[in-house]
Amino acid sequence: MNAFQYATAQSNASARELAGAKGMYVAGGNDLLGLLKDYLVPAPDILVNIKALPGMSQIQRGDKTWAIGALVTVAEIEDDPDIRETFPGLHEAAAEIASQQIRNVATVGGNLAQHSRCWYFRHRDTVCLKKGGDLCYALNSDNRYHSLFTGNTCISPVVSSLATMFAALDATAIVLRDSQETRMSMDDLYHAAWENPLAHNSLKPGDLITRVEIPVARHRSTYMQVSDKHTFDWALVSCAAAADVDGGKLSSPRVALGSISPVPHQVEAANAFLDGRTLDDATASAAADMILAGAKPLEHNGYKMPLAHALIRRALSKLVA
């Protein structure tokens, strides 16, 4: 491994200054240390430990908005009884992530900024499109874990469970960029990965996620995923849904899917279609058809279509149960 400096930042400004253009932030280190050891990212000049940054380890509970600091761990989300009550889907998404040991140290910011799990990207000696090569090896090869939708020639999907749930909750990531706070929807946060094969997300060097704000607007929420393994595994497909339910009718519903696109996959027309409707099997099925319209299954990932369809129907049914 190449030599690099290591520093612990004590303020957001010093973190950004230390990182400069060629440094990287380290939070829980679950993803980053593997990337460095396998030479999957350019060697940074400096690793900036951000775990001492003030104010980023808290969960602020407002009447209209909650703010979850970027250093809050996945286990803290899973274990917080108020989150379980107010955003049950967020509790469910956190509880599905990896293993207890990883959840204990993995942070919200690191989870959102984790890199692609595509096995060609993760292979040290394969210079795929995402690493600046000419070819997406998955496209005509083993693409069983890859996207049904993409805006470019890289078919690696977003795998952050929290991002999928935050999308359904219409949450906003607050990112410190050039000393200014920038607000990014989950769509904004991953948009660059939709159009640029080299990008994992829309963060630029030095960008620091400080917190995620969630509106207290939808009182029912749920998260479901199917994986090869029951635990300690990323999703093959995940589905998050949130809404208010009033007299059996859905109000302000949002559905988001993970692991099928470089961005959490959302279809505003389907959300609008569901708004104000009483859910039955036909309605859930019609919404699932709308959400999956235009999908382009590849040779080995066609199984994701019925899986996603079933997850959407199940998640919507759970909202009104």
Ligand X SMILES: Cc1cc2nc3c(=O)[nH]c(=O)nc-3n(C[C@H](O)[C@H](O)[C@H](O)COP(=O)(O)OP(=O)(O)OC[C@H]3O[C@@H](n4cnc5c(N)ncnc54)[C@H](O)[C@@H]3O)c2cc1C
* Residues of the shown chain interacting with ligand X in the complex, contacts defined by CB under 6 A: 24-32, 50, 70, 96-98, 102, 105-107, 109-111, 113-114, 159-162, 203, 207-209, 232-235
Of 112, 239, 106, 128, nearest to 188 by C-alpha is 112
Write down the least CB distance from residue 155 to ligand X, Å. Answer: 19
Write down the least CB distance from residue 293 to ligand X, Å. Answer: 26
Cα–Cα distance between 226 and 238 in angstroms, integer?
6
What are the backbone dihedrals phi and psi of residue 68, each rounded to the nearest 5 degrees, phi first?
A: -110, 115
Beta carbon nearer to ligand X, 200 or 254: 200
Give the position of tokens 């890859």: 146
Taking residue 23's Cβ as centre, other Cβ atoms within 10 Å add up to 22
What are the backbone dihedrals phi and psi of residue 254, each rounded to the nearest 5 degrees, phi first?
A: -140, 135
Beta carbon nearer to ligand X, 106 or 240: 106
Query: By beta-carbon distance, which residue lies closest to ligand X?
Result: 110
Write down the least CB distance from residue 177 to ligand X, Å. Answer: 10
Beta carbon nearer to ligand X, 23 or 290: 23
Write down the least CB distance from residue 110 to ligand X, Å. Answer: 2
Write down the least CB distance from residue 25 to ligand X, Å. Answer: 4
Cα–Cα distance between 314 and 239 in angstroms, integer?
9
Crossing angle of helices 161-168/88-96, nearest 10°?
170
Q: Are 259 and 161 in contact (CB under 8 A)?
A: no
Write down the least CB distance from residue 59 to ligand X, Å. Answer: 15
Name the token pair of 201. Answer: 């997300």
* 3-state DSSP assignment of residue 6: strand
What are the backbone dihedrals phi and psi of residue 316, each rounded to the nearest 5 degrees, phi first?
A: -65, -40
Beta carbon nearer to ligand X, 180 or 247: 180
Beta carbon nearer to ligand X, 6 or 232: 232
Q: Where are the beta strands (DSSP E) in 9-125?
A: 23-26, 46-49, 59-61, 65-69
Beta carbon nearer to ligand X, 35 or 139: 35
